[in-house]
Amino acid sequence: MLPALLAPLAATPAPPPVTLWHWIGTAGMAVGVVTFGLATRRAGSEYAKQSRVSLFFVPLIATALYLGMAMGQGSTTVEGEKVWWLRYVTWFATTPLLLNQLARLVHARGSVVWSLVLANQFMIATGAVAELSPTPQSWVWYAVSSVAFVFILYTLYTDLTRESRDLPPEVQRLFRTLREVNAVTWIGYPLVWALGTKGLEVIAPATQTAGYVLLDLASKVGFGMLILGGAGALEASGRFAGLREMREGKTNAEYGLRNAETRPLGVSGD
Ligand code: RET
């Protein structure tokens, strides 16, 4: 009797590990959605609230797209290998929101923010091309994408760090922690790519998926939890609202002074 009842269970194939990891990704991101969603209601200032609203959309987008992948959507076959292009759609939408968290915290001027975000979109777009290209073209696109990545890391540690120096010590501390977590987790992605399906193929597809899921959870949910934990620093940074405009105004004024006409404005030379 019992074996007969259990037979259908035994016949059910075990979920493939890749799918299982996609479900783990979906669940982990959903935890982020609930946590960050509740946090938006507890924000003290408008500045902190804006930051949390933007943070909330990171796991929300990722939950939706992991759900798609868990249901088997968003993949194609290149040279006989299954590749998941939907991942790149998620990254294209979520990575600029993550960088913007760092940039907002230090009130970075527009030229720094735009350089970071546009280099990031270029990195993800060319990375997607690498994923969808046959070998060896895939490696060329990998190299192109990596140049943009190096630029992003360089900008985080130079221009963006310089912007943080006028702010109170607790803001600088939170900025440095987030910058380090960002750098370490992001470096994991090109490594996982290079070891996986499209790269040297030294790790199995399920291991590669596990790598991406864990990196995604750390760089989105872990990173976001650190921002929630640094609420005091965020409120302190919020007191400097307007600093970005001041910096941009100062840069424009310096440019104007350097290039000022020697004759008074409105007086024609002839
Ligand atoms: C690819 C392959 C091509 C070379 C490089 C890559 C970098 C990807 C990165 C992804 C970061 C994703 C994050 C998602 C979370 O929302 C495309 C793997 C450099 C850095 C942080």
As a 3-state breakdown, the chain gives helix, strand, coil percent values, each rounded to 5, of: 75, 5, 20
CA of 167 to the centre of ligand 1 (A): 30
DSSP code of residue 77: E
CA of 125 to the centre of ligand 1 (A): 10
Instruction: Report pLDDT for 202.
Output: 97
Prediction pTM value: 0.90
The Cα–Cα gap between 206 and 185 comes to 19
The Cα–Cα gap between 35 and 51 comes to 14
The three-class DSSP label of residue 78 is strand
The Cα–Cα gap between 193 and 201 comes to 9
Q: Which atom of ligand 1 sits closest to the CA of residue 145?
A: 4
- In this structure, the residue with its CA closest to atom 6 of ligand 1 is 190
The Cα–Cα gap between 215 and 217 comes to 5
Give the mean pLDDT per block of 10 residues along the chain (270 residues). 53 76 98 97 91 97 98 96 96 98 97 97 98 98 98 98 96 98 98 96 96 98 97 92 90 80 56
DSSP code of residue 263: S
The Cα–Cα gap between 220 and 250 comes to 34
Instruction: Report pLDDT for 44.
Output: 85
The three-class DSSP label of residue 73 is coil
- In this structure, the residue with its CA closest to atom 7 of ligand 1 is 190
- Ligand 1 lining (C-beta closer than 6 Å): 91, 94-95, 98, 123, 127, 130, 142, 145-146, 149, 186, 189-190, 193, 216, 219-220
